Each structure stands twice: as C-alpha cells, then as structure tokens.
Structure 1
Amino acid sequence: MNTKVIERSLENTQPDQHQEFEREIEKVTFDLKAYLSEKRVQVEAALEESITVVYPEKIYEAMRYSLLAGGKRLRPILCLASCELSGGTVEMALPTACALEMIHTMSLIHDDLPAMDNDDYRRGRLTNHKVYGEDIAILAGDGLLAYAFEFIAEKTKEVPAEQVLRVVAKLGRAVAATGLVGGQVLDLEHEGQQNVDVETLKFIHIHKTGALLEASVVCGALLAGANQELLQRLRSYAHNIGLAFQIIDDVLDITATTEELGKTAGKDLQAQKVTYPSLWGIEESRHQAQKLVDLAKAELADFGNRALPLIAIADYITARTN
C-alpha cells in the first residue's frame, strides 16, 4: 500500500492527498469483526485464569464478577494491536492487556457507586455494589487496581525490566490524579453547572477517559521497545481516538437505549452534566468525532498494512452503537 503521500496531521494535508489515502485503505480487506473476536477470546481466557477464588472468598468473587462481565475489551485489544505494530508479540503484551482491563473494571465499579454516578446496571447486569454492597464494591475496585500492577510485574516475560518499569509508570500516571482520578473529580465538581466551556469539558474527558485509552496504546509500544517517533505517533493517535470515544459516548447516552448500552441510558441528562451534544448538538458532535478519527488514522498512514487493526478500531469508535 502506498500511503507515503499522507502527512502526519490532517491540518497539513491537502484534500486530494487525504482522499487518496482513504481510497488506498478501501482497497485492503480487513475483517475487524474477526480481529476483535480473536483478540477478545485471547484476553477473556487470560482474564479467566488471572484471579482464583481463595479465602476470603467474597472479595475474589466480587472482583471476578465485574472483571468477567464481558464488554468490548477495547483497551486490552488496543494494547495488543499497538505492541504488534511496534514489532512485539501478543504474548509479551497480554499481562499488561489484562492489567488494563482490571484498571478499567475498577473505574467502572467505582463510577457506578451512589457517591459517583449511581447506576444499577453495567454491561447488562447489576452493578457490583447492587450485588455485593457498597463496602465490598469499593474494596473489589481497590483489589483490582493493586493486583493490576502486580500482574504486570509477575507475569510479563521476555521484556527488559526497564521497559516493564516504563509501562508501570505510564499506567500509574494514567489512573492517578494526573489522569482518571483527576478527570473524575472535575466531572463531579461540574455536575449541574451550565457555564462549562468546551475546553473544560475536553480537559475532563482527556483525563477521565482518554488517559487510560492512551496508556493502552502507548504501553503496547513500550513493551516492544518502540522508538520515540513511533511513540509520539501512537500518543497522538490515542489522544484523538480517546476524545472521539467520549464524544460518541455522550451521543449514545442520548440516542441509544438501556438495552443497547448495557447501562442506564440518559444518565448524563439526569445528572445535569454538560456534554458535547449539549454544547454542539448531536450532528456536530458526530462531525467533531469523525474529524478526530481522521486525524488519528493519518498518524498511522506511513505504516501500511501493519496499521490496519488500529485504523479499523478508530473507525469503529464512531460507528459503534454501545
């Protein structure tokens, strides 16, 4: 595939060049559904084996209840795809992929608590605190977060220790006050406020949602020993898809049903949250998300067929219905 005509940013790309890239991509058949299914099976099998129920049984059962509840497994799959693009293997990235899902699951358990977003359903089933109580749900999230870092350190093989350490540091930053936690704090503080501007909303979601998505992509590359140029390309790709993901989430909260989402629809409106559709409208929100996806794809244009999984995942973000 000749994609060298594409510049690294669409802002510096002529329209005919972007169209040529899109035409070249269309010539290549890539079965995203099959790819996601294959990787999801690998991730699910590893997650199933990752936590054994021992004494005290209740906490391990609660951790497994949410961790094995299904879902898109998008973050671990991004990690695997990024590692392979960077010259690594699924085997070297699988422990980190599982850790990412543990951390993501922790964030969902805590996000659903009455003190946070107060939701009764997640992934089509009762939320953790509805089954095990708020106290155990909090501890289940804590347990998953701590275990995620142990899992990376203990299970990662055939990767230099320095690269594993960089992954641990990247994940720690993504979930701390510098990332997910900080974004969640601002999200809670701005509930019910009507004067939230686009830049504040962007800051919230770059941290609350985008930080872990970016870490998913970057960690896969770090494990494979990617150079700084590739890491920067992947950071930019991940930054753009992370923001696009949240914009579409905001749209789906309005347009999708509870059955489609697997969680309560319309929660943002009930909580009086400022969202992208509330500022831009639904159609403009979709348009802005597509622009971000286009920017993300342009970052990977030089990598040809190797980038097809990540490019297809970027398109999936705007096309998804849950």
Structure 2
Amino acid sequence: MFKQDLSAAQSALQGCLDEIMSALPSSEVMAGMRYASAGGKRLRGFLAMETARLFDVDPAHALRAGAAVECLHAYSLVHDDMPCMDDDALRRGQPTVHVKWDEATAVLVGDALQTLAFEILAHPDTHPDGAVRAQLCLTLARASGAEGMVLGQAQDIAAETASAPLTLDQITELQSNKTGALLVWPCEAGAILGGADPAPLVEYARALGLAFQIADDVLDVEGDAILAGKALQKDADAGKATFVSLLGLEAAKARAQSLIDEACAALQPYGPRADTLRDIARYVVTRDR
C-alpha cells in the first residue's frame, strides 16, 4: 500500500509541476527547470501531502505546498552539483544540469526554481487566507536560507578545509541544517495549512531528517551507484567525516533505526491516521537510493 501511495503522490506532484511550468515562457532555463525537477523520490512533497491529510486540508492546497518544496529541493541539487560545490556529473542517473548545459545555465535554473517555490506558495490557489500563505513563505525561507539549508551547505564546505575532522555533535548540527531543515518544513507546512500545532510533526521530522542522512551515509558505503543514480564513496575518498566514519557501519545503522523509533513515537497523538507517515520513516532507512 505504501508503494502505491508514494507512486500516486509522485505522479500528482509531477502533474502539478508540469501544469505550473507550462505557463512559463519557453527558454533554455525553462527546459533546465523541467529537467532538474523531474523524477526523484518526491519524499518532501509526499510529507507535505500526508501531514496536511491529518488535518483534512484540501488536497489541492497540500499538493501545491508539496510542489513548492520539490522546486526548492531541485534548486538546491542543481547548485550543489556544480564544480564550485560538490562537482558531481550525475544526478538521478542523468547528467547534472551544468554538464548537460553549462554552469551559467545551471545557476539560472537553480535561481528560477527557488523563486518559483515562493511564487507557488504566495499564490491564492495554495490557500485562500493570505496570512497562511505568508506563514508558509516565511517558514520555507527560514528552512532553506542562512539559518537552515544554506547554512548547512556552508558548514559542509568549511569542513573540507578544517584542520580537524568534525565531531559527532558538529556533523549532527551540519546535517540537521543541510538535509534536515528541508524535511522538517513540509511537515510544518501541513500543520500550517490545517491551522494546527506543528510541534509533534516537527519532532517527528527532525528525527526523520537525521535518520535520512545516516541512511545516505550508509548507502555511500555499501549502496549501488546504478540504483543511486550518482557517484558513491565520494565522502570517504575525500576524507570527510560522516556518521559511518564516526560511529562505524553497524552502529550508524542502529542509530538510524533508533531515530525512526523516535519519529514514530512522536506521531502517537494522531493514532492510525499517521500510519503512512510511519511507513515513510521506515522507508527512509530501507531505501536503496
């Protein structure tokens, strides 16, 4: 059932993005936006849709919030893949945007995807109440900017030239910013759309985000590059500290499972209605890409 629900969400999110982008002028940047935002797990968008469902939010509103965070995530990947950042040639099994086009186009594609995310949230179709739309924009800006995802990326870059490897506490903080913040936001967004207290869902998502990153570190060691659709073992080759290098492979897996247990426990107030969110948590540590 979970796989069918995830597949249905992926299709709905792609359809929403296609509809939104079809209204934009045709250009190389537009082609790059479509290319960069196609495919992927759609986990962030799915989280927005499922958390909103807990509060009987209009599915069309939740879908647009999900599409917005998928645009923001796609922008971050386009920029992260560039030579000045992680210098990756493959993403989702395809050439990265700067490889398929050029670096200037990749910068513009990322910029356009980022601004589109906020355009989607600010549009009346996302919610009739302007205060709700403003809160969605404010919280996404905080999650993705200098106190969230961008901060985490800056911390990651700084770690590459640091005199000593990061400690466990430092890498936990880094990844909570770089990866976790954009997994927390869609859960918060579902509650904002539903006029509900986001605290339990934020607790769930923080544990989920850290487990997600630990699982990524495990995949980087023992995953399949073809299934992952990107180069693996880059962190080890670069001598970067990861959860696996600091904890060891088996202890890292155990820590990820413990975090998933914490995430599921945080959903207790919602009872069986949150079962799909529990399935998402379990998926995070069993995925192969």
TM-score clears 0.5: yes
SS at match of 1:319: coil
- Contact 1:159–1:223, Cα closer than 8 Å, also in 2: no
Question: Aligned residue pairs: how many?
Answer: 288
Aligned to 1:140: 109
String of CA shifts for 1:19-44, please: whole Å, max 9, x gaps: xxxxxxxxxxxx21111111111111
User: What is the letter of the counterpart of residue 87 of structure 1?
Assistant: D
User: What is the letter of the counterpart of residue 116 of structure 1?
Assistant: M
- Contact 2:208–2:281, Cα closer than 8 Å, also in 1: yes
- Contact 1:53–1:61, Cα closer than 8 Å, also in 2: no
Distance 1:93 1:152 in 2: 10
Aligned CA distance change for structure 1 residues 153 and 269 (closer, same or farther; 3 Å): same
Structure 2 unaligned regions, length at least 5: none
TM-score (norm 1): 0.87
Aligned to 1:67: 37
User: What is the letter of the counterpart of residue 78 of structure 2?
Assistant: I
Shift of 1:156: 2.9
SS at match of 1:305: helix
- Contact 1:247–1:285, Cα closer than 8 Å, also in 2: yes
Distance 2:128 2:236 in 1: 46
Aligned positions of 1:207-246 closer than 5 A = 207-226=177-196, 228=197, 231-246=198-213
- Contact 2:204–2:267, Cα closer than 8 Å, also in 1: yes
Distance 1:54 1:93 in 2: 22
Shift of 1:55: 4.8
Distance 1:150 1:252 in 2: 35
Could you list the runs of 4 or more consecutive aligned residues of structure 1 that deviate by over 6 angstroms after TM superposition? none
Aligned to 1:18: none
> Which has the higher mean CA deviation after the structures are superposed, 190-199 or 288-297?
190-199
Aligned to 2:143: 174
Aligned positions of 1:30-69 closer than 5 A = 31-52=1-22, 55=25, 57-68=27-38
Distance 1:289 1:43 in 2: 28
Distance 1:149 1:40 in 2: 20
Shift of 1:158: 4.4
SS at match of 1:113: coil
SS at match of 1:190: helix
- Contact 1:218–1:235, Cα closer than 8 Å, also in 2: yes
User: What is the letter of the counterpart of residue 204 of structure 1?
Assistant: L
Aligned to 1:312: 279
Given candidates 176, 183, 186, the residue that maps to 1:206 is 176
String of CA shifts for 1:200-240, please: whole Å, max 9, x gaps: 001100000000100011111101111x3xx1100100000
Aligned CA distance change for structure 1 residues 158 and 197 (closer, same or farther; 3 Å): closer
Relative contact order, CA 8 A, sep 6+: which one is greater? Answer: 1
Shift of 1:273: 1.4
Shift of 1:155: 5.0
Aligned to 1:289: 256
Greater C-alpha Rg: 1
SS at match of 2:166: coil
TM-score (norm 2): 0.96
- Contact 1:93–1:156, Cα closer than 8 Å, also in 2: no
Shift of 1:89: 2.7
- Contact 1:123–1:262, Cα closer than 8 Å, also in 2: yes
Shift of 1:302: 2.9
Aligned CA distance change for structure 1 residues 285 and 148 (closer, same or farther; 3 Å): same
Given candidates 93, 101, 108, the residue that maps to 1:124 is 93
Distance 1:217 1:39 in 2: 15
User: What is the letter of the counterpart of residue 184 of structure 2?
Assistant: E
Name the Cα RMSD after superposition. 1.4
SS at match of 2:123: helix
Shift of 1:92: 1.4
Distance 1:89 1:319 in 2: 31
String of CA shifts for 1:95-116, please: whole Å, max 9, x gaps: 1111100000000000100111
